[in-house]
Structure 1
């Protein structure tokens, strides 16, 4: 895996490109009009994306399809700390579909506790908690 970064202006706007040509823009969140995500923002997006891919894959293998999958991720940092890393991350999974609650919970648990490389890496630095809502009902 390889990423190339190029500075696009005299401030903090960067373009990153992976080996497939996918482009992601980065910027400093303190800019008045940021033109991309902050690096810490990307970490939270990465845990949402990684776990979502796992969940869909696990359920597909069981011939179960979700109507909708949304993930809310919130990172908590210690004010004024340097470096200002995440100390706690809360991940809320919002699933919708004709999927048994036990299967939905198992898919999320497997992702967060075994398969999601991003969550496994981040848990070395931050406490990660998660909640699962299926069809409007909290199931864990």
Structure 2
């Protein structure tokens, strides 16, 4: 796996490209007013949500669950370590809609974080990643 990064303005705006030519923009959002890019730390939270989301949808499809809607919210708590501010904890909240067995939804999240999600596994043991699962607006798992 390889990505390229190119600076595209006189400040902190970068274009990142994968081997297929897909791109995202990264910026130092604390320094760039009005940017349309995301920060590298935000991209990490997005990666956790995307990776675990792919796992959960895959697992629920295999279990023939009628998934009508799927979304997530991710919050990261940062700490000061010298000059850096890494994440200490990350909380992912999944919101599923449809005819879904709550136990299967909870198990899908558990499997993702304990076995399949490469992004959250990469963050271990330095970051505690927690999750909550809601099915049709009812909390079913933590």
- Pick the TM interval, shorter chain: over 0.9
Is the CA contact 2:65–2:101 (under 8 Å) kept in the aligned structure 1? Answer: no
Residue 14 of structure 2 corresponds to 14
Q: Distance in 2 between matches of 1:86 and 1:109?
A: 21
| TM-score normalised by the chain length of structure 2 | 0.94
Are residues 134 and 56 of structure 1, via their aligned partners in 2, closer, same or farther at CA, if it must alter by over 3 Å? same
Runs of 4+ in 1 over 4 A off after TM superposition: none
CA deviation profile, 1:54-75 (whole Å, cap 9, x unmatched):
0010111112231111110000
CA deviation profile, 1:13-39 (whole Å, cap 9, x unmatched):
110110001011111111112231111
Residue 112 of structure 2 corresponds to 111
1:46-85 to structure 2, matched below 5 A, reads 46-79=47-80, 81-85=82-86
Is the CA contact 2:14–2:26 (under 8 Å) kept in the aligned structure 1? Answer: yes
Q: Distance in 1 between matches of 2:9 and 2:81?
A: 28
> How many Å apart are 1:123 and its aligned residue?
2.7
Which 5+ residue runs of structure 2 have no aligned equivalent?
Answer: none
CA root-mean-square deviation: 1.2
Q: Distance in 1 between matches of 2:96 and 2:64?
A: 16
Higher strand share: 2
Is the CA contact 1:75–1:90 (under 8 Å) kept in the aligned structure 2? Answer: yes
> How many Å apart are 1:80 and its aligned residue?
7.4
The total of aligned residue pairs comes to 140
